[in-house]
Amino acid sequence: MHSRRLLVLFSAVALFASAAPAAAQSVPLPREAQIGPRPFYLVDKMKDGPLKEKLSQCTGPFHKTDFSIGHRGAAMQFPEHTKESYTAAARMGAGIIECDVTFTKDRQLVCRHAQCDLHTTTNILSVPALAAKCSQGFSPADPATGKKASAKCCTSDITLAEFRSLTAKMDSFNPDATNVADYQNGTPRWRTDLYAASGTLMTHDESIALIKSLGAKFTPELKSPEVPMPFDGDYTQEKYAAQMLQAYKAAGIPASDVFAQSFNLADVLFWIKTEPAFGAQAVYLEDRYEKQGLDPAKPETWKPSMAELKSSGVRILAPPIWTMLALNDKKEIIPSEYAKAAKAAGLDLIGWSLERDGPLNKGGGFYHRSIKPAIDRDGDTLTVLDVLAKQVGIRGMFSDWPATTTFYASCMGMK
Question: pLDDT tens, 93-131?
Answer: 999 999 999 999 999 999 999 999 999 999 999 999 999
Q: Over range 251-269, report the average pLDDT.
A: 98
Note the pTM of the prediction, 2 decimals. Answer: 0.93
By the 8 A CB rule, do 406 and 68 touch?
yes
Identify the domain boundary among 139, 164, 187.
187
How many angstroms separate the Cα of 45 from the Cα of each of 184, 192, 248, 384?
33, 21, 42, 13
C-alpha to C-alpha distance for 185 and 85, rounded to whole angstroms? 19
Identify the domain boundary among 159, 187, 215.
187
Query: What CATH number corresponds to the domain at position 257?
Result: 3.20.20.190
How many CA atoms within 13 Å lie on the side-chain side of 355?
Answer: 26
Q: Are residues 380 and 319 in the same domain?
A: yes
> Is residue 388 included in any domain, yes or no?
yes
> Is residue 12 included in any domain, yes or no?
no
Q: Are residues 161 and 282 in the same domain?
A: no
Q: Are residues 272 and 389 in the same domain?
A: yes
Q: Torsion angle, CA of 205/206/209/212, rounded to 10 degrees?
A: -100
Reduced to 3 states (helix: H, G, I; strand: E, B; else coil), residue 11 is: helix
By the 8 A CB rule, do 85 and 199 touch?
yes
Q: Which helix (H) or strand (E) holds 87?
A: helix 83-91
Convert the pLDDT of each residue in 27-85 to its tens digit: 678 889 999 999 999 999 999 999 999 999 999 999 999 999 999 999 999 999 999 99
Quote the domain boundaries for residue 76: 38-99+202-411
Q: Are residues 76 and 156 in the same domain?
A: no
By the 8 A CB rule, do 379 and 355 touch?
no
Q: Are residues 360 and 242 in the same domain?
A: yes
Check residue 27 and give its pLDDT.
65
C-alpha to C-alpha distance for 244 and 110, rounded to whole angstroms? 10
Q: Which helix (H) or strand (E) holds 218?
A: strand 217-218
> Is residue 180 included in any domain, yes or no?
yes
> Is residue 348 included in any domain, yes or no?
yes
Q: Are residues 210 and 171 in the same domain?
A: no
By the 8 A CB rule, do 348 and 315 touch?
yes
Identify the domain boundary among 187, 217, 243.
187
Convert the pLDDT of each residue in 199-225 to its tens digit: 999 999 999 999 999 999 999 999 999
Give the amino acid at 257: D
C-alpha to C-alpha distance for 414 and 66, rounded to whole angstroms? 9
Most distant pair of Cα atoms in the chain: their distance: 91
Residues 6+ apart with CB under 8 A from 324: 296, 335, 336, 338, 339, 349, 351, 388, 392, 394
Q: Are residues 183 and 208 in the same domain?
A: no
Average per-residue pLDDT in the chain?
93
C-alpha to C-alpha distance for 332 and 387, rounded to whole angstroms? 10
> Is residue 218 included in any domain, yes or no?
yes
**How many separate domains does the chain show?**
2
Convert the pLDDT of each residue in 177-188 to its tens digit: 999 999 999 999
> Is residue 158 included in any domain, yes or no?
yes
Burial of 103 (0-12, 13-18, 19+ CB in 10 A): buried
> Is residue 148 included in any domain, yes or no?
yes
Q: Are residues 207 and 84 in the same domain?
A: yes
Pairing of strands 396-399, 150-152: unpaired
Give the amino acid at 392: V
Q: Are residues 235 and 361 in the same domain?
A: yes
> Is residue 26 included in any domain, yes or no?
no
Convert the pLDDT of each residue in 311-322 to its tens digit: 999 999 999 999
Q: Are residues 154 and 216 in the same domain?
A: no
Give the amino acid at 193: D
Q: Are residues 398 and 339 in the same domain?
A: yes
Q: Are residues 291 and 257 in the same domain?
A: yes
Band of residue 11 on the pLDDT scale cut at 50, 70, 90: very low
